[in-house]
Every structure is written in structure tokens, then in C-alpha cells.
Amino acid sequence: MLITNAIITQIIELGNSTFLIKIHSPETALKAKPGQFCNIKVSESIFPLLRRPFSICDVEGEYLYFMFKVQGEGTKLLAHRKTGETLDVLGPLGNGFNVECDYETAVFVAGGLGSAPFPFVTRQIPSDKKIFSFVGGRSAKDVITYNLKNIIVSTDDGSLGFKGNVIELLQENIHQLTSSKIKLFGCGPTVMLRSLKEFALSNNFECEISTECAMACGFGICQGCPIEAIDKDGYYLVCKDGPVFDVKKVVI
Amino acid sequence: MNIDLSVSVGSLKLKNPVILASGTVGYGNEISNLTDLSRLGAIVTKSLSLKPRRGNPPQRIIETASGMLNAIGLANVGVEEFVREKIPFLSQIDSAIICNIAASSIEEYVECVRILTNEETIKAFEINISCPNVKEGGLIFGHDLKSIGRITELTKAASTKPVIIKLSPNVYDIASYAKVVRQEGGDAVSAVNTLVGTSFNIYTRKPKLFNVTGGLSGPAIKPVALAKVLEISRNVDIPIIGIGGITCWQDAVEFMIAGASAIQLGTVNFIDPNAGIKIIQGLSDYCVKMAITNLKDITASYQI
């Protein structure tokens, strides 16, 4: 991890208040692994005070992409930043997805903005493995499929794709995939991750999820982001021990 | 021009007045990737209790206007693991290591100090009697003059090393607390710990923090902390370590003018882990500009 003054090279509006910000930060890009995040100071002033954590959406050479939705004051400021300005980026932080282990098919399960880390994961999955991307949203406008492969969509209101949530979509389709050894990779709202965990455990699938929690520092000193551990007494820290965990290790 | 940045906090000598505060530097290892700890005056380790503590369930932190609330709940590894796993790393750092102790009883404070005083790496103790985030311990001592006196007296008796008492700002008359520390032989006070605060979710009407209340820190509390330092400085003859919302060298200078011999950086470490080094440079430049040869001469130099 390191702190760099990265140059903002592009801000792309994806619609529905969702943006991609592209930055030039060779050292960070070189070290980044899929599923890791950066803690970003969105403004140069003291407001807002804390950095904001964003998962690394994609890496192209010396460039990194972050995906965000304008939700509060911090993301509003970030959306108004200009190309050519510098951005104070601390990262890469945490532990990402393990894409190298023993499986044949990678199954991504993303809800809403939970699609954010998967373009980079897609890029890093070894070429001998298959990829399927199950993407859910409340309605069509909430479905984010940017740079994903083999996309299967669900919406709660049925405005696009399967009507229902993304875990129901996964259940409908899983029998077509189980001729190969699969591994599930999840990112999205906590209720979705909870259902995904149940689904993975009851079917005995390997599954890693990217979790989130309010945090200050992003590298383990503030102790602000606990997640209850299963395989030891006490808590893991989302920032340092996660944000990606094997579902068997944490209470969701 | 030769600038001397060194300061003394009682018998504790520091190469400069910049200290990283307890709970914002862990046990040194993580933050050492992002800053050179050996250039600092001192670092204060995360509050230790005799046995490990899990800390509070989430949510533990909330951002507020120019500040943050935390209710970590003194999550720590306990004295035994600290000695075994953390001291070896800390012993490599060329700045003073101050060990912060937070306990649930007077006996536990004394026991922690008694065990840790044998560690050569530890140069001083900071006694946390003012953590607002655990039920037992912390503030029940911090707001009781008799307990503070007793804890000061007994921890001093348990160690030959300097004992610093970290005071709560959540009191009407902070000088009287500092006075008790002085009377019972305490070497210095740190002023101040966090201010009790809270925040609600207006849709669920539930408190945002699991612990309901937390400690407010960051620039939002700086004027309050500064006034507390001044109050102690004007009324009690005891060295003060100023802490509360310092983010830049100008803030550090202000605290020293108000009466602090040294200063601690807390919340700013979460945002800029290298802030301490920048502040040391800023202090040095200030001395040059103001023709000050010994930085310690500005302590309590207020013109009121």
C-alpha cells in the first residue's frame, strides 16, 4: 500500500448517478489485485474529513478505474472532480478474491453497485476457466453490466431479465453450470450476501464475498470496521483481513 | 540557523514534540508502511487491558461535520500478547514508545503497569481513565477525583517510568483533575480524550453507533481541547500533552502556546498517516521564520 497523488484522466457517466473515474497511478496499478480497494480523499480540503473506500473496478496498464454512485456529499464531490486534477489515493488495500484456486467456472453474483469489482476480476480469471456474471438490480436502471462477460440479469420489478432477486436467478440457472466445478464470487448488499452464503453452503459451493463496513483509515489502525468471525473468537477487520472473505469465515 | 525541536514532558525527553496518539497508530506495524515512525517524538500504543478485548460490534465509527465518532470499545490484544508479539517490532523504532493502559479496575491498572514496566522498550505509561466507550472502566474513573488520585498514586508506585494521565474533556473543571494528578505524583497529563457524542438514523430512529454514544474527535473538537489545555496551564503546574483535532503544524503551535509541552495527533493519522512528519517540518520552518532557537520556549507563551 502507498499514497499517491494520482492524475484524474477521465470521468465517465454510466447513467443513474453512477460514474467511473479513471486515474493514472502506475505504482498502485502494478500492485493491485482483483477485489482490493483504495481509500480515496475525494477533496483537497478538510471537508469531508475521512477518505472514502472504493473497490478497484478495473486496471489497464498504469491506469485504475473506480465505480461509484452519487449517494452522499463525498461521492457528489468526486463526481464533480475534473480531468487533470490530482486525487489522493491510498492503496491497494486489503485482500482480494482468490482467482487462482481449483475450479473450472467462475460465477459472479452482483447486486446493484456490487458489480464494481468484477471487471478487474474478469480480467484476472485464468483463461482456461469459464465465467458467468449474474447481475441483479431493483429495476432495469439499477443493473450495472459494465465490462462483464456472459451476463444473466434479474430485476426485482421484472423490468429487465428474470423477475426476482439475483439469488433466485442463480438458483434457476445453476443446474446448467454444475457439470463443471464452480466457484462463486459475490458482491452486493448485505441481504444478498447473506442469501448467497446460504445458497453456497447448502450446495457445498466454494464462495468468496466482498463485504463492506464504515471505515476510517482502511489499513487496520482505527479498528473501525469489525466483522464477526466464525473460525476464531472475536472480529476480523473488513479493511485489513477482508474485504473479501470465504463465506465460511464470517457472520453476514 | 540551528533549531532545537527537542522537548521534555517531565522527565521524558523527546526529540520533537510530535506524538502519535493511542488508538490511531495500532501497535506501529501497519502505519510503518506509510510513515517513518523513527522521526517522531513518540508513539502511544493502542490501549491495553490485562486480558484481550474483542471490542464493540459494528457500527463502530460515524463521520460527522469536521470530525468522527468512534466507539471501538478498547479492542486490544491484552498485555501478554502485546509483550510477545508487539514489543519486538516496537523495539526497532527509534522514538519513545509510550504504552497506554485502559482497565476495568484500579487493581488492573496497577497490574498492567507492574508487568509492563520491566519492558525496556516502554519509556512511559499513559493511563486512559477517560475512554467513553466501555461500560466498566474508563469514564467512571475519569470523572471521579478520588479514583484518579488513587490510580495515579498506585501506578506511580508500580513503576519508575513516567506516568501520564489522559484526562476526559467531559467535565466542568478539568484543572481540578490535573491538580489531583500532580498532587499524587503524576508526571504529566494528556488533554484531552474524546468528547461524548451520538448520532441517529432519522428513518429507523436508532442510534447509528451500536454503543449508542461514542467519542468525538477531529478538527471539530480543536477549540474545546485548546481551551482545556489553557485552563490546565493557567491553574496547575504540570506538563501537558495537548491533543484534540490537530491536523497541521499551525494547530500544533497553537496548542504549545496554550501550554502544551508536546502534542498528539489522532484522527489525522487515519487520513494522512504521514501528517506527523509534515508537522515536524512545519514546526521547524516556523522556528526559522520566527527566529526561535528552542521550540520548547513557546510552551505556555500565550499573551493574554
CB contact under 8 A, A217 and B269: yes
- Look at B30 and A216 and tell me if their CB atoms are within 8 Å: no
Name chain B contacts of A217, Cβ cutoff 8 Å: 269-270, 273
Q: Minimum mean pLDDT among A73-82, B125-134, B245-254: which range?
A: B125-134
Which residues in chain B touch residue A51, judged by CB atoms under 8 angstroms apart? 270-271
Residue B168 domain-assigned (yes or no): yes
**Residue B162 pLDDT exceeds 60:** yes
Q: Which residue of B has its CA nearest to A47?
A: B66
When CB atoms are compared, the residue of A49, A226, A233 closest to B63 is A49
Rounded distance between C-alpha atoms, residue B224 and residue B245, angstroms: 9
H helix count then E strand count, chain B: 10, 14
Which pLDDT score is estimated for B142? Answer: 75
Q: Which residues contact A216 (CB under 8 A, 6 or more apart)?
A: A50, A51, A222, A224, B61, B63, B68, B70, B267, B270, B271
User: Which of A2-16, A53-67, B125-139 is predicted with the least confidence, judged by mean pLDDT?
Assistant: B125-139
In a domain, B225, yes or no: yes
CA nearest A233 in B: which residue? B54
Q: CB–CB of A251/A227 below 8 Å?
A: yes
Dmax (CA) of chain B: 61
Q: How far is CA A133 from CA A122, A153, B190, in A?
A: 9, 8, 54
What is the number of domains present in chain B?
1
pLDDT-based confidence at residue B134 (cuts at 50, 70, 90): low
Q: A83-132 pLDDT, tens per residue?
A: 999 999 999 999 999 999 999 999 999 999 999 999 999 999 999 999 99
Specify whether the CB–CB gap between A23 and B42 falls below 8 A: no
Contacts of A233 in chain B (CB under 8 A): 54
Cα separation of B185 and B93, whole Å? 29
| B135 pLDDT more than 70 | no
Contact: B30, A41; criterion CB under 8 Å: no
Going by C-beta distance under 8 Å and a sequence separation of 6 or more, which residues neighbour residue B270?
A50, A51, A216, A217, A221, A222, B24, B68
| B62/A216 Cβ within 8 A | no
Average pLDDT score over residue span B164-181: 96
Confidence of residue B141 (pLDDT cuts 50, 70, 90): confident
Is the confidence at residue B130, as pLDDT, over 80?
no
Q: Which residues of B are catalytic?
A: 131
B235-247: average pLDDT: 98
Measured between alpha carbons, how far is A26 from A63 in angstroms, rounded to an integer? 7
Kind and range of the H or E run holding A106:
strand A105-111
Measured between CA atoms, how close is A42 to chain B, in angstroms?
11
The alpha-carbon gap from B60 to the nearest alpha carbon of chain A, in Å, equals 5
Residues of B within 8 A of A1 (CB-CB) are 33-34
Res. B139 pLDDT band, cuts 50 70 90: low
Assess if residue B179 is contained within a domain. yes
Nearest Cβ partner for B26 among A3, A213, A220: A220
Q: What is the extent of the structural domain holding B47?
A: 7-56+72-196+216-298
* B205 lies in some domain: no
**Strand runs (DSSP E) across chain B, as ranges?**
7-9, 12-14, 18-20, 42-44, 61-64, 67-70, 96-101, 122-128, 163-166, 188-191, 195-198, 213-217, 240-243, 262-265
Domains along chain A with CATH numbers: 2-93 (2.40.30.10), 97-209 (3.40.50.80), 211-252 (2.10.240.10)
d(CA B169, CA B243): 11
d(CA B59, nearest CA chain A) in Å? 7
Q: How many residues does chain A have?
A: 252
Q: Is the pLDDT of residue A246 over 70?
A: yes
- d(CA A182, CA A184) in angstroms, rounded, equals 7
B209 belongs to a structural domain: no
- Spatial CB neighbours of B144, under 8 Å, sequence gap ≥ 6: none
Given a cut of 60, whether residue B137 has pLDDT beyond it is: no
Whether residue B154 is predicted with pLDDT greater than 80 in this model: the reply is yes
The pairing of beta strand A244-246 with beta strand B195-198: unpaired
Over residues A235-246, mean pLDDT? 97
How far is B204 from B248, CA to CA, in rounded Å?
38
* Residue B224, domain CATH: 3.20.20.70
Nearest to A46 among B56, B63, B247 (CB): B247
A216 contacts on B by Cβ (under 8 Å):
61, 63, 68, 70, 267, 270-271
The predicted pLDDT at position A46 comes to 87
| Rounded Cα gap, residues B255 and A152, in angstroms | 59
So what's the pLDDT on residue B1?
76
The residues that bridge with A228 in the sheet, in sequence order, are: A235
**Do the beta carbons of residue B69 and residue B209 sit within 8 Å?**
yes
B86 interaction partners in chain A (CB closer than 8 Å): none
State mean pLDDT over B34-52: 97
Query: What does the alpha-carbon distance between residue A51 and residue A93 come to, in Å, rounded to a whole number?
Result: 13
Q: Do A224 and B63 touch (CB under 8 A)?
A: no
**Do B188 and B238 contact (CB within 8 A), yes or no?**
yes
Question: Does B201 map to a domain?
Answer: no
The answer on pLDDT for B24 being more than 80 is yes
d(CA B181, CA B183): 6
Residues B223-232: tens digit of each pLDDT: 999 999 999 9
Position A118 scores a pLDDT of 98
Residues constituting chain B:
304
Above pLDDT 70, what percent of chain A?
100
Give pLDDT, residue B133: 61
Task: Decide if B25 touches A, using CB distance below 8 A.
Answer: yes
Is A76:A105 a contact under the CB 8 Å cutoff? no
Nearest to B30 among A46, A215, A219 (CB): A219
In Å, how far are A179, B19, B47, B121 from B97, measured between CA atoms?
A: 59, 10, 13, 7
> Which residues does A contribute to its contact with B (CB < 8 Å)?
1-3, 41, 46-51, 90, 213-217, 219-228, 233-235, 240
CA distance B247 to B86: 27
